[in-house]
Structure 1
Amino acid sequence: MHAVPSDSGTAYPVTDNVAWLWTVCMERDRADGAESLAAHECREAVVRVLDHRPDAAWVARRIAREALGRWRVGGEATGATVLVLSELVTNAVQHALPRVVMHVCYLRGSQRLCVGVTDGGPAHRPGQWNSSRSEDECGRGLRIVRGFADAHGVRCHASGTTRWARISAV
């Protein structure tokens, strides 16, 4: 366990989901008999606790763009990754309990990115601003994730839920 800063500056203890995220993102390749997972080692990673607020998606996009720029990920892959991450964060803030933790991992060898968002589990009622939105503004997030991700899924665990997606970096 290590401390991760939140966007408000407070450090929170967070279990290290990066190794798990990397393993899950590569599971399909392993099932298909691809080369060793060691060739797809997580080269770079960002883990950040976000405040459970409507602007969390904006903060996540900014952090992801900065990291992807440092990692020299191309514009199209950056756009897809930022959009998928934004959808996952928005869904966590709208439909889940706090805490929201974003994970972005760049996989060596496979030229893939894994993104994940961990939340506190399902909320009993939607976020306060969600009820003011019209029907045509909701329900597109999973279609966006499916459209840009090579693979995606959900992991439920004792501390909440992690939704993840794997995206080509080329």
Structure 2
Amino acid sequence: MLEPLRQGLPPLDPAAVSSAASCALPARLEAVREARVFTRKTLDQWSIGERFDDVCLVVSELVTNALRHALPAGAPRNPEQAPPVRLHLMRWTERLVCAVRDPSHDSPVACDSEDFAAESGRGLFLVDSFSDGWGWHPLAGTLHGKVVWALFRLPPTS
């Protein structure tokens, strides 16, 4: 699922990931707050809470984009169905990846970095500014949609 992240990261076999957590997010804007709470709790458990501000901003933008742009407009929400958006946090020794999975196959679109007067569209510019890298890729196999991810370098542990 995270093949594009191999560059600059340790091997992606499950044993190489020191910690991982994920949560399903419902198709409503309150899910952004739920994602921030989940991120705070997870980073505190991993003793990397000092990165919360940057990571939280990026998680908020990625989840907001998924909820606004990746879900079909006006589609009825069936509470019996699995939530359409999922947040994944994965930690390696000196790296943290935040990945948001959504059901859309459309590529994320970053706005022109000089168009700050626009009411929306600055989210990916912020993701780019506050993370050490980001990208996206379509899902394969039985999963449909895409994953948009952001990478954070962590200070070496002593």
Q: Distance in 1 between matches of 2:49 and 2:23?
A: 22
TM-score computed with the length of structure 2 as normaliser: 0.73
1:44-59 to 2 correspondences below 5 Å: 44-59=19-34
Distance 1:67 1:94, change over 3 A: same
Look up the match of 2:79: none
Q: Give the partner amino acid of 1:50.
A: L
Give % identity.
33
Look up the match of 1:13: none
The Cα RMSD (Å) is 2.4
Stretches of structure 1 that go unaligned for 5 or more consecutive residues are: 1-19, 31-35, 124-134
2:129 equivalent to 1:155 = no
Q: Is the 8 A contact 1:74 1:169 kept in 2?
A: no
- 2:45 pairs, out of 43, 64, 70, with 70
Look up the match of 2:95: 112
- 2:104 pairs, out of 95, 117, 121, with 121
2:64 equivalent to 1:85 = no
Q: Is the 8 A contact 2:18 2:91 kept in 1?
A: yes
SS in 2 for 1:64: helix
Hey, which bits of structure 1, 4+ residues long, moved more than 4 A? none
Look up the match of 1:131: none
Q: Distance in 2 between matches of 1:143 and 1:71?
A: 27
Q: Distance in 1 between matches of 2:101 and 2:38?
A: 16
SS in 2 for 1:139: coil
Q: Distance in 2 between matches of 1:142 and 1:54?
A: 18
Stretches of structure 2 that go unaligned for 5 or more consecutive residues are: 72-82, 107-116
Q: Is the 8 A contact 2:40 2:49 kept in 1?
A: no
Note the C-alpha offset of 1:148. 1.6
Look up the match of 1:29: 8
Q: Distance in 1 between matches of 2:22 and 2:129?
A: 24
More helix by proportion, 1 or 2? 1
